[in-house]
Structure 1
Amino acid sequence: MYQLHPLIREFLIGKREASGIADELKREFCRVMVGEARKIPETPTLAEIKAVNPVISHLAEAATTQQDWLIDDDLISPFGGLSRFYEGQGLYNQAEPWRKDCLSVTVQRLGENHPDVATSLHNLSTLYDNQGRYEEAEPVYLEALAIADRTLGSNHPNTILYRNNLQLLRDRLRHSP
């Protein structure tokens, strides 16, 4: 690991922009970061967390300042990777902004009626559910399910998953004090 002095970094960024290949480099950077994000499992081990830790700041850059160079199919990946990284450590307060930002960015770019919006909603509701925030999770699960039903159909595996998770949540709500 190394860090460049801010002036050197600024100089190199200027050179990159003047080279005429800046956009291609940004797209490639984002493609690599999507690959790294997809390697982060739902429940990372300590070794996996340690291994991916050096990439986290780069994933955050791909999700924020470089998101214009993410293709639509990859848009949610950096956000998901970041959230899984923090959720896997029980750092829900750090994971939640990434889930919310993912939803916002996805709606803005893809529109409200897109399967990736349903996925973003489902991921946010699952985060709430895992924290025991059942009352907050239910309407988000419902919205994810409605979009998935419209865009994917009622027999699609994601729609079935969302319906099952909603039912499990409702079972927990019935049995909670």
Structure 2
Amino acid sequence: MDTFSQSLIAVFQTIPQSPTLKQIDFYRFLIPHLEELGNYLSATIPNSPSSSFEQFKVQLQQSVSDEEIYWVFTGLSHFFAGQGLYLSAEPLYLQAINILRERLGENHPNTQTCYQNYMIMLSQFPEAELRKRFPDEVVKMLKPKSRNLWKQKLLGLIQGVLRLLILPFYYVWLGLRWLVRRLLSLL
């Protein structure tokens, strides 16, 4: 595999699942190149490539290891899903699942991880969107109803009240600590 492709795949491996604004700004210029590499890797190549460009695609596909294929699509998917751009991330997850199933098999850990990441991303969709696209069983699996919703709300309320009660004492303690340090520095 050429050095450029190796460098791009190394970049894929560094994309976090939830990128910060600074990271998004950094990766923003690389994403078109990363997408193009993904397109080359997922393209269907004829049995007898006629052009030198088709031969390049075949060589590229053969030179990229199965582990690297996983990172190409996972990195891009994380980049888009981490920004809430789920509609951009979804085709990448599906493309990755198809390629990984084909190259590694249904039960390979990378294929299963890709399935899990896809399901996690789908769980972020609004329930109305999920109901349009999937049967009720899938929606229930992705958006389980909490049986103890009132307990969760009560617990959140208690935590908020405790924070309000403790916060003034914390600031008093910080002020006293500063004052004592200041007085000790004068001695």
TM-score, scaled relative to structure 1:
0.60
Measure the CA separation in 2 of the matches of 1:171 and 1:100: 17
- Identify the match of residue 65 of structure 1 among 26, 40, 63: 40
Give the match for residue 101 of structure 1.
95
Measure the CA separation in 2 of the matches of 1:171 and 1:106: 23
- Identify the match of residue 37 of structure 1 among 8, 12, 28: 12
Displacement of 1:49: 0.5
Question: Sequence identity of aligned pairs in percent?
Answer: 28
Structural RMSD (CA): 3.0
Paired positions, count: 124
Whether contact under 8 Å (2:76, 2:92) holds in the other structure is: yes
Displacement of 1:38: 1.5
Distance 1:115 1:93, change over 3 A: same
Q: How does 1:55-94 map to 2 (within 5 A)?
A: 55-66=30-41, 68=61, 69-94=63-88
For structure 1, the residue ranges without an aligned partner over 5 or more in a row are 1-23, 141-168
Displacement of 1:139: 8.1
Give the match for residue 175 of structure 1.
146
Q: How does 1:1-177 map to 2 (within 5 A)?
A: 24-25=1-2, 28-66=3-41, 68=61, 69-132=63-126, 173-175=144-146
Distance 1:30 1:66, change over 3 A: farther
Helix, strand or coil at the partner of 2:16: coil
Displacement of 1:119: 0.9
- The amino acid that maps onto 1:121 is Y
For structure 2, the residue ranges without an aligned partner over 5 or more in a row are 43-60, 150-187
Measure the CA separation in 2 of the matches of 1:73 and 1:139: 33
Displacement of 1:110: 1.1
Whether contact under 8 Å (1:63, 1:79) holds in the other structure is: yes
Higher RCO by CA contacts (8 Å cutoff, separation 6 or greater): 2
Q: Any idea what the Cα deviations from partners look like across 1:6-63, whole Å, max 9, x if unmatched?
A: xxxxxxxxxxxxxxxxxx42xx333211211121111111111110111111111222
Distance 1:49 1:171, change over 3 A: closer
Measure the CA separation in 1 of the matches of 2:137 and 2:73: 21
Distance 1:139 1:56, change over 3 A: farther
Measure the CA separation in 1 of the matches of 2:22 and 2:116: 27
